[in-house]
Amino acid sequence: MQTGENDQAMRKILDMTRLISIVVLGLHFYEVCYGAFAEWHLTAPLSDRLLANIVWTGLFSNFYKAKLIALAFLAIALIGVKGKKDEKQNFRTAFIYLLSGLLFFFISFLVLLVRGKMTVLAGLYMGVTGLGYLLFLSGGTMLSRIIRDKLSGDIFNRDNETFPQEERLLENEFSVNLPTRYWLKGKLRNGWLNIISPQRSTAVIGSPGAGKSYFLIRHFITQHIRKGFSMLVFDFKMPDLSVIAYNTWLKYKGNYKVEPKFYAIDFDNLACSNRCNPLEPSVMLDITDAVESARTILLGLNREWVKKQGDFFVESPINFLTAIIWFLKRYKGGEFCTLPHVIELMQADYDQLFTVLRTEQEIDVLINPFVSAYLRDAVEQLEGQIASAKITMSRIASPQLYYILSGNEFTLDINNPDAPKIVCMGNNPQKIQIYGAVLSLFVNRLLKIINQKNKLKCSLIMDEYPTLVADMIPTIATGRSNLISTCLGIQDASQLRKEYGREAADVIMNIVGNMVVGQVAGDTAKLVSEKIGRIMQDRESLSINRTDTSISKSKQLEAAVPASRISALSSGEFVGLVADTPDQKIELKSFHCEIINDHEALKKEADGYLPLPEIRTINPGIVQRNYLQIKQDVQEIIHEVMEQLLNDPSRVHLVIRKA
């Protein structure tokens, strides 16, 4: 315990020590420069006898002995000095003073080697030595005034915001494991990002250029194919991810019990694209499948309808399209149940269209409002209900799309243990709205088919997921037990809210088990920061007053990764949380690390990739003939149904003839 008396006693001791240093140095000057003192008449018998007695002690047995003793006492005195703290003082200036003082203090003897007048040389010697002494004293005093706790050393608080992370490699038959580097208290350490439960779904979030595809999604593809997964890859920038999937499949297809087939859907490159019918009648078990398909395609083409579901002029076109899909599903066993046939049939005249649709009793409840409006001449209402669907669907009425969507080279049951598949579906950033709607239909039909028991483990890779209108929530919520792993690439939560609405976006963000986040800002950064949680951090405060300096230290719970830090992440640097399993517990679930990619090896591997194979030789004539054939099929359907009704007296009343 410090008291005023203790401080006063300490100051007296230090003053005495400093005085002893000065006295010893003065005696040294008197002994060395005795001749000069004699000329100055500064000697006396008493001082001479005193000096003689001191000589007998051995103090002056060596030229430097007295100087070293004086310097030692000065150093002891400086140790206890408490100077007023000054933020401007630094060690460099203090050491310059100390070293300069020592230099002058010890090389001053060179003055005595010069020939000259004794009094002049003695004055110079004492002046140079005294200068060195004062410089050393000033340097020591400066050291005592330096603030040794440099609070500004870590101006961004990086060291405080580091925390232990998982350094073990935890693998299983489903896991995705990525090597990492992270900082812990100023030291760079190696670790592992272990996504050991991808069935609990993974959200990969980051702004463009954050490294989602290069550092994460590509490894989901390669590691899951290596471990025998069936797979769907939604490739936003075809064929970037598809080429990786194709070449990985070529390398590891022998690892599967049943060798999987590789299929690709690319609307821009028909030669390399397989043909597939998303409205395959064999997997449309009831009319609810037709409803889901109609909803998906219309919401995909009119993204603003996503937030208006339930409105009259949104639900009416969906019911109209559902009726046409289900009619074609029931007509001749679904021989013409394809999206191109649906588009062409809905363009028919109302007389013929409603007559044809009325032949199917299951859809009578769906088309009855339209027929009634037509017969009552409620043209404006009818056009409002139907025209939006017809105009919307006409956007995808192109020969190229018709060609791919009217074929049936593979089915969407990609996790069928007897016929596993790896399917890549490509979008085009220049045609997001058109292609995205059709691909959304593919994805939604596929999600309904694969989410079943006793199927092969399956991985769904969705790059730029918000460009699709696919309801992933049921798959994320229930697909875990069916061994379905989902990886969603998202740029920002606000992008998800824009396309799906706030409620659906919030559900997706909150139910994913694994969250890997690169550079994002705003609400997304705040959300992720809150999910990671808080850690105990050291806090220091400095108080300087006229007489003293006080530094207080404390510990506080603060955000482990603040939102501002997430907003400033570099490419390849990610934060987030991982989920564990009952068999493999992970205590350190949070991470803030840099994922390590072997750039040279990946570049070399990419240089050796084979392009997607050319499936067929295609020319515009083939595509055009298919386009015209679909139109002809629809005309024949209408003609055949009308002829049957006219020749059947019991059903002729179904024919609509409006003057």
Residue 1 is predicted with a pLDDT of 47
Residue 116 lies in a domain: yes
- Per-residue pLDDT reduced to its tens digit, 347-405: 888 888 888 998 888 888 888 888 888 888 777 777 777 887 888 888 888 899 999 99
For the chain, the average pLDDT equals: 87
Place of tokens 């139109």: 631
Confirm whether 26 is domain-assigned.
yes
Taking the CA atoms of 8, 11, 12 and 13 in sequence, report the sign of the dihedral they define.
positive
pLDDT for the residue numbered 94: 81
Residue showing tokens 């693998």: 171
- Of 177 and 35, the structure prediction assigns the larger pLDDT to 177
pLDDT tens track for 33-85: 877 777 887 778 877 777 777 767 766 677 777 788 888 888 888 877 666 66
| Within a domain: 11 | yes
Average pLDDT of the residues in 609-625: 92
pLDDT tier, 309 (very low <50, low <70, confident <90, very high otherwise)? confident
| pLDDT beyond 70 at 151 | no
Question: What is the residue type of 126?
Answer: M
Asked if the model's pLDDT at residue 257 lies above 90, the reply is yes
Is the model's pLDDT at 149 over the cut of 70? no
Q: Cα-flanking dihedrals φ and ψ of residue 382, to 5°?
A: -65, -45
Boundary residue ending a domain (105, 128, 148): 148
Query: Which amino acid appears at position 515 of this protein?
Result: M
Q: pLDDT grade, residue 545 (50/70/90)?
A: low
Flag whether 557 is in a domain.
no
Answer whether residue 111 is part of any domain. Answer: yes
SS (H, E, C) 410-446: CCCCCCCCCCCEEEEEECCHHHHHHHHHHHHHHHHHH
**460 occurs within a structural domain:** no
Q: Which one of 132, 148, 164 terminates a domain?
A: 148
Tell me whether residue 533 is exposed, middle or buried, using C-beta atoms within 10 angstroms of its C-beta: 0 to 12, 13 to 18, 19 or more.
Answer: middle
Q: Mean pLDDT across the stretch 292-299?
A: 89
Listed in sequence order, the DSSP H helices in 533-652 are: 563-566, 599-607, 620-646
The residue among 654, 635, 640 whose CA lies nearest residue 332 is 640
Q: Is residue 476 part of a domain?
A: no
Share of the chain above pLDDT 70, in %: 94
Q: pLDDT for 630-649, tens place per residue?
A: 999 999 999 999 998 888 88
Does 260 sit behind a cis peptide bond, omega within 30 degrees of 0 on the bond before it?
no
Reported pTM: 0.79
Is pLDDT above 80 for 568? yes
Give the pLDDT band (50/70/90) at residue 2: low
Residue 154 pLDDT level (bands cut at 50, 70, 90)? low
DSSP H or E segment with residue 514: strand 514-517
What is the total count of domains within the chain?
Answer: 2
Instruction: Residue 96: give the domain boundaries.
Output: 4-148
Q: Which range in 29-33, 69-73, 102-106, 449-453 is most confidently predicted, on average pLDDT?
A: 449-453
114 has a pLDDT exceeding 60 = yes
Asked which of 130, 148, 166 is the last residue of a domain, the reply is 148
Q: Is 551 exposed, middle or buried (0-12, 13-18, 19+ CB in 10 A)?
A: middle
pLDDT at 147: 62
**Mean pLDDT (whole number) for 400-415:** 93
At 383 the pLDDT is 76
Q: Is residue 293 in some structural domain?
A: yes
